[in-house]
Amino acid sequence: MKLTQIILILSTTFIAVSCASVSAPEGGERDQTPPTLQSSNPKDQELNVRTQTITLTFDEEVQQNKLNTELLITPNTDNKYKLKTNRNVMSLEFEKPFLDNTTYTFNFREGVTDITEKNKAANLRLSFSTGSFIDSSKVSGTVVDLFTQQPQKGVIVALYPTRDTLSIRKNKPYYQTQTDDAGKYELTNVKEGDYRIYALADKNNNAFYDNEDEKIAYLAQPINITATTEPVTLELIKIDTKKPILLRREFYTDRFTGNYNEGIRTFRANPVQAPTQKLNYKILTDGKAVDLFKTQNYTGGKTILTAVDSAGNITADTVDIKFEGKRASRIKGAQLKVTNTRNSQNYAAGSEVTLELETPVTITGKEPVSILSDTIVAAKIRYPEELALDSTRTEMRLRIPKLKGQTRNISIVIDSTSVRPLEGAPLSFSRIPLTLAESGGVGSVRGTVSTKYTSYSIQLITQDYKVVQEVNNTKAFQFKNITPGTYRIRVLIDENNNGKWDAGDPEFKRQPEKVYLYNKTLDVRANWEMEGEKLEF
């Protein structure tokens, strides 16, 4: 064999052995230990710092993890830095010197990990001062959602000195932190003084309040932050300043439908020629559309449509209403009206049922609706004693009667010879199936109120905070005919007695009015009345 071939074989063998010697062993326990900071320059709590480079030394090799967004430096600074990592040492080299006589805090959050399993360095913070003392003022507290009172995690809490004209709409905070999983926050090493405080659920991660889809919390008055500041609770809410927009107009022989870009709380329609005339209309289930109906006294013409959203924003449109084309076909015959607070599987004897009709009707028969169990008529509903027709004549309401036996699957049948359209061809009704709850009945809740307020709304709400029933300004309340389940009680307090609950102020000069959430959940059972609930607010 030639000498060159021998050398080549030996070299290849050496390379293979060398490669094998540095490869990670297979199997074994995974590294789950996060990197630990061993030392830093400057040291934590160090005074009279003059360096422009921050150096962190860890017990293992590390890497940055979106550090440009994870690292919070307070007070906020536009001093740019270069990041360098050399095995277990990470350095931040700043372009300019830090401000004199200033306490800085670096909160790295989840911005540093090891290089093997990307375990995040926990609670990595560093504070130092360029002066002769460390600022020791602080503020802490909890951020909750106003309507649910549930803690909110990952929310920015921001401070702006009152001496500056900085705005959360345009400027990054002077001090900021984020809430933990329990909604708690703490800002330490703050310079003593007066601040405006905010909490922001920052959807677009720019630390500005520039989107009304973001929730914000604020105090109407500045707070004085010292070393002994009391905890501050901040309540998040959406502030809506945009007026509803009439996006689409639909004309039919029996109605006009106006479609809006958002939910409508209240609506009013006034003919230009007869502004005091009362018209028949209804807001549809999704809240974003309104039906205005033709009647003997109203056949169209120029009409002012006034819509108000949940935040009180008002818009008015003048529309030339024409009843033409064909009959509206959104519903064929009739259907069960399912609201946000009602699941079709949760009905019981005594529950109210609403049936939406294709077009306005007149009822001529004495028993226009039947309840069937399988194919057998289990009950007949009498009109008008047990069946109500709303003002638009497009909705019928009834209560499910108590039926014999253990029947759970029933059907509602409408007699087309007794329920007839005001205009157009006769209606054809299909059976409407309905499943009754196993408990076979409904319950109720009764209680009393102790309060200094005179104007308020008491709401019975589901576990996901949807309103089931509501009563106003009463010292003794009762919610009847409630489907068995778990509920809560919420109170919206009209502090200024203007007849409505006022939400947030876009200028942050007036806080939202108070919301009280009863601290007890209510387990409503069939055929049972809960008594003794006492609300104190």
pLDDT of residue 440: 65
The answer as to whether 373 is a domain residue is yes
pLDDT of residue 408: 82
Phi first, then psi, for residue 392 (nearest 5°) are: -85, -10
- What count of other Cβ atoms lies within 10 Å of the Cβ of residue 46? 16
Measured on CA atoms in the order 366, 369, 373, 377, is the torsion positive or negative? positive
One domain, residues 266 and 223: no
Query: Which domain-ending residue is among 236, 266, 289?
Result: 236
In the chain, the largest separation of any two C-alpha atoms, in whole Å, equals 114
Of 105, 114, 98, the closest CA to residue 37 belongs to 114
One domain, residues 394 and 312: no
pLDDT of residue 442: 81
pLDDT of residue 346: 65
Distance CA 25, CA 481 (A): 68
- What count of other Cβ atoms lies within 10 Å of the Cβ of residue 504? 23
The answer as to whether 25 is a domain residue is no
One domain, residues 313 and 253: yes
Query: Around 405, how many Cα atoms within 13 Å sit in the side-chain half-sphere?
Result: 9
Long-range contacts for 376-379 (Cβ within 8 Å, ≥24 apart)?
378/403, 378/404, 378/407, 378/410, 379/403
> For position 292, which CATH number holds?
2.60.40
Distance of CA 334 to the CA centre of its chain: 33
Structural domain of 145: 138-236
pLDDT of residue 453: 97
The answer as to whether 347 is a domain residue is yes
Which residue type, as a one-letter code, is found at position 367?
E
pLDDT of residue 362: 97
Distance CA 308, CA 204 (A): 29
One domain, residues 296 and 216: no
The answer as to whether 10 is a domain residue is no
pLDDT of residue 26: 54
One domain, residues 74 and 124: yes
Distance CA 284, CA 328 (A): 14
Query: Which domain-ending residue is among 386, 419, 435?
Result: 435
SS3 15: helix
One domain, residues 339 and 423: yes
One domain, residues 82 and 63: yes
The answer as to whether 118 is a domain residue is yes
* CA distance to 33, 34, 64, 87, 351, per residue, from 30 (Å): 9, 12, 21, 20, 57
pLDDT of residue 462: 94
One domain, residues 313 and 290: yes
Query: Which domain-ending residue is among 397, 413, 435?
Result: 435
Distance CA 197, CA 192 (A): 14
The answer as to whether 380 is a domain residue is yes
> For position 42, which CATH number holds?
2.60.40.1220
Q: Which residues face 536 on adjacent strands?
A: 450
The answer as to whether 530 is a domain residue is yes
The answer as to whether 306 is a domain residue is yes
pLDDT of residue 27: 54
Could you state, in chain order, the average pLDDT of each consecutive group of 10 residues for the chain (537 residues)? 41 40 53 93 97 97 93 92 96 96 94 94 95 96 97 96 92 93 96 97 89 94 97 96 95 97 94 94 94 96 95 94 94 83 62 94 96 92 97 95 84 97 94 82 92 97 93 95 92 94 91 96 91 94
Cβ density class 422-450: b for 16+ within 10 Å, e for less: eeeeebebeebebebbebbbbbbbebebe
Of 434, 252, 431, 411, the closest CA to residue 333 belongs to 431
Cβ proximity of 264 and 244 under 8 Å: yes
One domain, residues 447 and 419: no
> For position 224, which CATH number holds?
2.60.40.10
One domain, residues 119 and 71: yes
Of 420, 299, 301, 296, the closest CA to residue 359 belongs to 420
Per-residue tokens: 493: 């307090």
Residues 6+ apart with CB under 8 A from 53: 41, 91, 92, 93, 94
In angstroms and rounded to an integer, the radius of gyration of the C-alpha atoms of the chain is 33
pLDDT of residue 20: 41
How many structural domains comprise the chain? 5
Q: What is the dihedral of CA 51, 56, 61, 67, to 10 degrees?
A: -90
One domain, residues 316 and 349: no
Distance CA 5, CA 458 (A): 93
Cβ proximity of 101 and 131 under 8 Å: yes
SS3 471: strand
One domain, residues 100 and 171: no
